[in-house]
Structure 1
């Protein structure tokens, strides 16, 4: 879902501003997330959550960080091809591992660190990037996007844990509140600063809906998994997304892939096995 969302965002970015492409990720996702939460309560009712100031802080921080991460990634797509842009943004797994251990009291076994490191190497190979290709702006945008995505994930996990609801209800509440806040902030910004972008999104309803749908379904998976396990391990396992990203890059955008792809895919598999064992 995330690979398709990135592909649709790349298409939309040809005609719509960075803020508009970022909004497309959230604008129809709120009702979808609300429907998902409603269906959970119909399936098995649990207690309603009690929101604290601590929880609200995590929600606001995660919402702002994800908006920034998405905006930086869209700018990255405009500088490099699809695979390199999204590949650099996937540095988030390594950054999440370091930040989680240092600031969020998370712990990783040696096998977990090995998997995270393998995943980082795999993403670099699969992106088709080389040190000669990476200019300073591309490198800073990629690492900045990865850092913002890593912080988003860590704050989302903390919000789910603070809420204290049974699985998977906490993650569902966090998802709904984050998406609603992001939608309101971006709609307010564009209404005040860039109304033509809202018109441009309105004129592309199918593409906008596809982006929101893929984003919401992907986020349900991410948020739920991160309520169960360390962010670094979840993100490393999630790097199998890069395989789908490369297939889309080759067959949809007709972009040439590097010979290192086979090695990269092998490392992705090894990294996934390592984090599952960890």
Structure 2
């Protein structure tokens, strides 16, 4: 049951990070906002891994070809997912953007069952189905014409890439014969290292102005990276302990935190439709964790 508190903390810190990214996206392009989530996360993840090794020493693991493929694929899938989400924020409200991207839970269940051998019970599938309906309700206002095809594709594309990220991270963690906290930390360091290297090199060669924009907003960039590193560490640990579809469905409580931040911090209005979606997300989360609570 350790995966439950890790998932709840991940959901909260991710909602906080997304709200901060929404603010940064007003001044910085999508690739720059994506780099902001990783740039300070690498040293933070390195410090965390060092503390773990000092507290509970382990041998440096063997990094197999399958591990390196999985963390590399996860790294680039997460970059693409974040870019698509930032583009979504620029088209829709913060709450609506997050709601569309949360299609990842259903996509993770389907992909996990099809390609990663992850089997769910009927209650888990019911929770995922209800959560998917909730995501549809959370997609935004109900007025005609508010959800066009490009916006829908951005949301589904972001959700698909986030789902693939988590599935590949889980696969990478399972290649290391270490305690679960250590495997999550090693996977996090590798993933973020690849992301920071790729994005920094790209911007240094193609768009140095964006690097300067990030340099001029150090406080916001650090807060984004800090919340991002905590969220990623908690996600990595949770999916190392439990099936991705269950973790991501429970993680849809992020929408609760999203609505609170959207209404009280970013001053966006919450519609009755979105409140109904919130209620269904709570029901979905209860159905997902019910088997774990009764075993």
TM range (shorter): over 0.9
What is the CA RMSD across the aligned residues, in angstroms? 1.1
- Name the structure 2 match of 1:11: 23
Cα deviation for residue 132 of structure 1 reads: 4.1
Mapping of residues 60-209 of structure 1, within 5 Å: 60-130=72-142, 132-209=145-222
Mean CA deviation greater in 121-130 or 7-16: 121-130
2:272 pairs, out of 240, 254, 259, with 259
1:225 pairs, out of 235, 238, 247, with 238
Distance 2:198 2:214 in 1: 16
Asked if 1:35 is matched to 2:47, the reply is yes
- Name the structure 2 match of 1:216: 229
Cα deviation for residue 58 of structure 1 reads: 0.4
Segments of 5+ residues of structure 2 without an aligned counterpart are: 1-12
Distance 1:166 1:251 in 2: 40
Cα deviation for residue 129 of structure 1 reads: 4.3
Cα deviation for residue 167 of structure 1 reads: 1.5
Cα deviation for residue 276 of structure 1 reads: 0.9
Q: In 2, are the aligned partners of 1:128 and 1:257 still within 8 Å (CA)? A: no
Cα deviation for residue 244 of structure 1 reads: 0.7
Q: In 2, are the aligned partners of 1:62 and 1:178 still within 8 Å (CA)? A: yes
Mean CA deviation greater in 45-54 or 103-112: 45-54
- Name the structure 2 match of 1:45: 57
1:239 pairs, out of 234, 252, 257, with 252
Please give the secondary structure, in 2, of the residue aligned with 1:106.
Answer: coil
Please give the secondary structure, in 2, of the residue aligned with 1:162.
Answer: coil
> TM-score, normalising length from structure 2?
0.92
Per-residue CA shift, 1:168-222, capped at 9, x if unaligned?
A: 1111100111001100000000000000000000000000000000000011110
Cα deviation for residue 262 of structure 1 reads: 3.3
Please give the secondary structure, in 2, of the residue aligned with 1:256.
Answer: coil
